[in-house]
Amino acid sequence: MRAGEDWRSLTTALAARLRPHGLDIVHPFAAAGPDTAAASLPDLGRGDPLGLLIGNTRALWAPFVAAWRKDAALRAAADPLERYVEAAVLPALAALGVRHAVRWAHDPPPRLAIQGLADRAGLAPLSPVGLNVHPVYGPWFALRAAAVLDIAGPAAAPPLSPPCAHCAATCAPAFARARAAQQGRDDIGATWPLWLAVRDACPIGRVHRYGEAQIRYHYARDRTALDTRAGGPPR
């Protein structure tokens, strides 16, 4: 780390490195005390480390598909998106020159409690239907990782207000239908349109809705969506 750098400059530097990869959300938070422990984050031996939540909007899709087309190893991966995110985030963090640790939203159990962390960190409140709702993007964003850096972070964020006063009338009925249909099922292979309807019911951030190919990839686990967006399979 260069002399004089603080958590603001490091946040800006990481955001600049990740933006070309479509990871356009880098949110600083106070990674200390009960919140760090609740999210199973390391504290790096200090009481005031910088935390950074990393995520994306629909901006991820185009660079991810471009990388998938160019990289045979990515196409062969069990989950190409997870590998893509790791390949973007790890070198970007290393380039900051600060000791750090990172946990992924896709880690195996015990999982990172990243949705609760996003609420407590002041990024996006957690709604009654289990979706974080950003004030700009609504539910149309994804949380990918949380990093902790060995540098003093910001002060703790104040509690967030509920995301929407109308959740009981809009999203809750859609959530009830999806949850009822999911009973006894281990995956969402047949029920994903109902879970998508929960997101679509939210009135916030509708202009940031994912494109149809991105939706099919995320919800239906449909890899042909990558071919469709890219204009055909790689040669």
Task: Provide the percentage of residues in the chain whose pLDDT is more than 70.
Answer: 92
For residue 65, is pLDDT > 70?
yes
pLDDT surpassing 80 at residue 122: yes
pLDDT tens string 181-226: 999 998 998 999 999 999 999 999 999 999 999 999 999 999 999 9
Q: Work out the burial of residue 179: count CB atoms within 10 Å of its CB; fewer than 13 is exposed, 13-18 middle, 19 or more buried.
A: middle
Average pLDDT over residues 19-42: 84
Question: Is pLDDT above 70 for 3?
Answer: no
Answer yes or no: is pLDDT of 229 > 50. no
The pLDDT assigned to 164 comes to 80
Euclidean distance between CA atoms 30 and 115, whole angstroms: 16
pLDDT for residue 5: 72
Half-sphere exposure of 19 (CA within 13 A, CB side): 7
Mean of the per-residue pLDDT values of the chain: 91
pTM: 0.93
Say yes or no to pLDDT of 132 above 90: yes
> pLDDT at residue 230 above 60?
no
- Cα separation, 61 vs 23, in Å, equals 10
Confidence grade of residue 40 (pLDDT, cut at 50, 70, 90): confident
